[in-house]
Amino acid sequence: MRHRFPRLSRLGASLALALTASIANLRADDMTPRQQRQPCGSPAALDDGWVTASPESVGMDSERLCGIAARLSLRSSEVHSVVVARHGRLVFEQYFSGIDQPWGQPEGRTEFTATTKHDMRSATKSVTALLVGIAIDRKLIASANEPVVKFFPEHHQVKSAGWDAITLHHLLTMSSGIKWDETLPWTDPNNDEPHLAFDADPIGYVLAKPIAAPPDTLWTYNGGGTDLLGNIIEQVSGKSLEAFAREVLFEPLGITDFEWKTYKNGKIAAASGLRLRPRDAAKIGQLVLDHGRWKEQQIVPAEWMDQSIAPHFQAVGYFGGTLFYGHQWWVGRSFAAGKEIRWAGAFGWGGQRIIAVPDLDLVMMTTAAQYGQPKEGLAAMDILTNIIIPAVRDAH
């Protein structure tokens, strides 16, 4: 037919091209001018305190950042969000749909956006440590060298021998030496963590734990110590942990939409219960870079912020033993662009990561649902090392 009626064939082709162009024009007309020129990962304007900018304006390669989604797809990562800030400006954010296990809610698929809150899980510990520093700065607590038992006289009868030597510093650095194990299955009665959620007196449970080693000699990951710190803050402030955090940390950061969940026993989960928008969580990372300042306000004392990300212990047995531990903050490094890059991070189960890279003045925040996966959090560190850090085009 094409050979017999060449003019009809050419006419049909012309009509098809015209129809395709018309559809494309209609689609373009349906888009707002901003959508038509919106580059990959361009941050939304939410009036939440962040100044937004293009990656190029802060010395980063936007094309390289746009490869994040493809890189994540290689690992079937179940990452829900990636947020990047540099030089105090938000330059990239990307959100994905996925199966989530939000605290206290049934598992289900969620379409994540810039305004969707996400569980922070144990990244909450890093926030609680900042609140301790603020409480010390406000003279509510004398110092991190205060003995823990001073704040719990009503538990004198249950505390194990050796607790008198344990200070807030030991809880902050997870070097208290108490016998504690969170590595067992959640249903195992020997897993200490569920006791924080279900025991009528979780404080008594923690203080009754035997001492396995003298303080400052053994590092053991321990959410029970963090819950003690949260309770101490409530005692000295006369407020709930959530109310104190709102007043001294979140409101100054312009964080208005957050949750701090409680356990089944009604106690606030100081070690794991925080839910934040990823953009707001990234502000915590910016505090690290700016030595506790946000905009023109000193929110966390500079000395405390710097001490929090200084290595105090080798985190033996975690993530291959390559990490150090500060005041409830992880300290590590990536090998990128032919050199080692230092960073500090708040880590939460399932792939929640707030990473501050001081030498590059860079923040990366990710949320995910890699719960129970043997390499949870790997995807976040992969894109940090292989895409985000190499996307930096200058050295400062």
Co-location of 58 and 136 in the same domain? no
Q: What is the average pLDDT score of the chain? A: 90
Averaged over 237-241, what is the pLDDT?
A: 98
Co-location of 111 and 150 in the same domain? no
Share of the chain above pLDDT 90, in %: 84
User: Is 338 domain-assigned?
Assistant: yes
202 pLDDT band, cuts 50/70/90, is very high
Averaged over 366-379, what is the pLDDT?
A: 90
pLDDT tens-place string over residues 131-156: 999 999 999 999 999 999 999 999 99
pLDDT tens-place string over residues 2-52: 333 333 333 343 434 343 334 334 333 444 443 334 579 999 999 999 999
Per-residue confidence (pLDDT) for residue 358, from 0 to 100: 98
Co-location of 49 and 138 in the same domain? no
Domain that holds residue 27: 6-36
Give the residue, 18 or 235, on which the prediction is more confident: 235
Per-residue confidence (pLDDT) for residue 5, from 0 to 100: 33
Q: HSE of 374 in the Cβ direction (CA atoms, 13 Å)?
A: 1
Per-residue confidence (pLDDT) for residue 396, from 0 to 100: 66
372 pLDDT band, cuts 50/70/90, is confident
Averaged over 340-355, what is the pLDDT?
A: 97
Co-location of 151 and 236 in the same domain? yes
Q: What is the dihedral of CA 248, 251, 257, 262, to 10 degrees?
A: 10
Give the residue, 4 or 108, on which the prediction is more confident: 108
Per-residue confidence (pLDDT) for residue 375, from 0 to 100: 81
CA distance 201 to 147: 20
User: Is 258 domain-assigned?
Assistant: no
pLDDT tens-place string over residues 60-103: 999 999 999 999 998 777 999 999 999 999 999 999 999 999 99
pLDDT tens-place string over residues 247-278: 999 999 999 999 999 999 999 999 999 999 99
pLDDT exceeds 80 at position 356:
yes
CA distance 98 to 11: 46
Averaged over 289-315, what is the pLDDT?
A: 97
Contacts for 210-213: CB closer than 8 Å, 24+ residues apart: 210/160, 210/162, 210/178, 210/179, 211/160, 211/161, 211/162, 211/163, 211/166, 211/177, 211/178, 211/179, 212/177, 212/178, 212/179, 213/177
Co-location of 56 and 135 in the same domain? no
Instruction: List the structure tokens of 144.
Output: 């991190």
Instruction: List the structure tokens of 91.
Output: 């330059």
User: Is 263 domain-assigned?
Assistant: no
Per-residue confidence (pLDDT) for residue 19, from 0 to 100: 38
Last residue within a domain, chosen from 240, 259, 290: 240
Per-residue confidence (pLDDT) for residue 320, from 0 to 100: 62
Per-residue confidence (pLDDT) for residue 54, from 0 to 100: 97
382 pLDDT band, cuts 50/70/90, is very high
Co-location of 381 and 296 in the same domain? yes
DSSP three-state, residue 348: strand
Co-location of 54 and 138 in the same domain? no
CA distance 363 to 282: 7
Q: How many domains does the chain have?
A: 3
User: Is 267 domain-assigned?
Assistant: no
Give the residue, 146 or 318, on which the prediction is more confident: 146
CA distance 27 to 274: 41
Per-residue confidence (pLDDT) for residue 31, from 0 to 100: 40
Q: What is the CATH number of the domain that holds 197?
A: 1.20.58.710
When mean pLDDT is compared over 1-15, 177-191, 307-321, the highest value belongs to 177-191
Per-residue confidence (pLDDT) for residue 6, from 0 to 100: 37
Averaged over 155-173, what is the pLDDT?
A: 96
